[in-house]
Amino acid sequence: MQLTSVAFLFSFLPLIFILFISLKNSTYRKFILVFFSIAFYAWGDFASLLLMSLLTIYVWIAGKSIKNLNDKGEINNFYPSILITLIFIPLIFYKTIEALDLNLFPNYPLLLQPKLPLGLSFITFSAASYLIDINHDEMEPETDFINLALYIFMFPKVLQGPITKYQEIQENIHNPKTNIENISKGTQRFIIGLGKKVLLADSLSIAILSITNIDFIQLTSTSAWFGLLFFSLQIFIDFSAYTDMAIGLGKIFGFNFPENFNFPYASISLTDFWRRWHITLVSWFRQYLFYSLEITQRKSKFLRQQINILIVFLATGLWHGFTLNFIFWGLYNGIILGLESLFIKKLLVKTPRIIQHIYTLALIIFGWLFFMTDSPKTFFSYLSTLFIKKSGSIQYSPQGLNIITFIPIAVISLFLCFPILKKIPKKDFRAFTILNSFGYLLILLLSIAVIIKGGFKAFLYAGF
């Protein structure tokens, strides 16, 4: 089920909310949340529900086993490492099938064909963090299975994160409760996300598809630039919209999910960008992979940090998919971050702030080209169109869509990429509060109108 679907907004959400606030007992509330979360997942990907349930049971058993092994004085960490590694097997299996487009069981009906289960990348990384934290003695395994099931399936985050560590929401899971302030703040955040997705990201998507859904030979340079710049806006607005909705929904039910974005396009280096973009994924890699590599190889002198950064970003690319474009995107980021740690950052700090921003934005936008294209051939074809002038209509995409009409949407999206609204002091008088509420209501009504009209498109990160 999608967070922007009619079924979710008008049936699922009101029903779970009413049941949740009607029940005062925390055990009943947990059962409601787990039941609805599983139903939410099954609605989107019924075929993978069994696998996800088995995965949850595995995490439950592995967590307890790791704790027992460590209590018995497991010195070399061999068996816990095996138990943790096994959690990645389904993800690797399905990503490989997806990348190679394998048809393993040609005679099976479509429903039984293996395909990447919804949210598997996000679920695997959450589950792995649970097991690793137990292995590092940072937490105890969960004693109540229902709590672990809620952690894995909790509906706002199951499909696209934020990748949440168990300890971050342990208290919320044990005792789910909310109040008027949480409901109010959560609703506002949800509406912002809904508006960003439905009114901005999906509109940009129409313009981008009209530019890129053709043979690139027909592309003009101007269209190609519009396509790349619009995509840079769309990927941020779309993914951060989902995060806003997930965090908002969590808040409504009293859960504090971690933030995933901090104005990434306002970064002053690519290193800075990776502290502000998809924060929960990068934190995962930093904490569990980079840090472990650094600790174990700390005596190594030859470009140790740079090699480890490259490994981490190659893994980040692979997380998105086992295809060449994501591998190159990972290597591209890893090499630049390695160079920044060697010397570029020292040079950058001596330049004016505006140069730092331009340098960073140019690298980020160029990097999205790997996301937009699915093979080296299309990558270089698009790249050459960007820089070798191919004239044609400035105003119209090859499919005849007037790109200029999308510029206001792009400008509003651009405005949301920078912390401009945050700088406006929050006034606490009645007129402002009324205006504020009217604004949220307007965004909600406009979004619902678009959804009912049928303009909704899937989230970009739903594919991971």
**396 DSSP β-pair partners:** 402
**402 DSSP β-pair partners:** 396
- The yes or no reply on residue 436 touching other proteins (CB under 8 A) is no
- The yes or no reply on residue 74 touching other proteins (CB under 8 A) is no
Task: Return the H-helix or E-strand segment holding 288.
Answer: none
Structure-token match 């959450």, residue found: 126
Residue 299 vs 430, nearer CB to other proteins: 299
- The yes or no reply on residue 226 touching other proteins (CB under 8 A) is no
Neighbours of 93 (CB within 10 A): 14
Q: Among 88-96, 203-211, 293-301, 424-432, which window interacts with other proteins (CB under 8 A)?
A: 293-301
- Answer for the pair 122, 163: CB distance below 8 angstroms, yes or no: yes
Q: Which residues of 438-462 are buried (b: 16+ CB within 10 A; e: fewer)?
A: eeeeebbeebbebbeeebbbebbbe
Residue 304 vs 457, nearer CB to other proteins: 304
Q: Which residues of 385-408 are buried (b: 16+ CB within 10 A; e: fewer)?
A: bbeeebeeeeebbbeebebeebee
Q: How far is the CB of 351 from other proteins (least distance, A)?
A: 19
* Residue 444 structure tokens: 């909600």
- Answer for the pair 151, 126: CB distance below 8 angstroms, yes or no: yes
Q: How far is the CB of 307 from other proteins (least distance, A)?
A: 13
Q: Among 120-128, 246-254, 296-304, 315-323, which window interacts with other proteins (CB under 8 A)?
A: 296-304
Three-class SS state of 402: strand
Residue 273 vs 290, nearer CB to other proteins: 290
Interface residue with other proteins among 167, 184, 218, 296 (CB under 8 A) is: 296
- Answer for the pair 238, 459: CB distance below 8 angstroms, yes or no: yes
Q: How far is the CB of 139 from other proteins (least distance, A)?
A: 13
- Answer for the pair 126, 53: CB distance below 8 angstroms, yes or no: no
Residue 296 vs 375, nearer CB to other proteins: 296
Interface residue with other proteins among 130, 290, 379, 459 (CB under 8 A) is: 290
Residue 294 vs 374, nearer CB to other proteins: 294
Nearest to 215 by CA among 32, 456, 377: 377
For 402, phi then psi, to 5°, come to -80, 105
List the x/- string, 108-137, binding to other proteins by CB under 8 A: ----------------------------xx
Instruction: Tell me how many residues contact other proteins (CB under 8 A).
Output: 14
Q: How far is the CB of 264 from other proteins (least distance, A)?
A: 17
Q: Among 142-150, 235-243, 261-269, 298-306, which window interacts with other proteins (CB under 8 A)?
A: 298-306
- The yes or no reply on residue 457 touching other proteins (CB under 8 A) is no
List the x/- string, 331-350, binding to other proteins by CB under 8 A: ----------x---------
- The yes or no reply on residue 294 touching other proteins (CB under 8 A) is yes
Q: How far is CA 317 from CA 152, 164, 189, in A?
A: 23, 20, 29
Q: How far is the CB of 54 from other proteins (least distance, A)?
A: 30
Interface residue with other proteins among 262, 305, 378, 381 (CB under 8 A) is: 305
- Length of the chain, in residues: 464
Which residues, 134 to 153, sit near other proteins by CB under 8 A? 136-137
Q: How far is CA 32 from CA 35, 41, 146, 190, 370, in A?
A: 5, 14, 11, 21, 42
Interface residue with other proteins among 145, 291, 380, 415 (CB under 8 A) is: 291
User: What letter represents residue 371's amino acid?
Assistant: F
- The yes or no reply on residue 286 touching other proteins (CB under 8 A) is yes
Residue 291 vs 380, nearer CB to other proteins: 291
**C-alpha atoms less than 13 angstroms from C-alpha of 409 in its C-beta half-sphere:** 25
Question: Binding residues for other proteins, per CB under 8 A?
Answer: 136-137, 286-287, 290-292, 294-296, 298-299, 305, 341
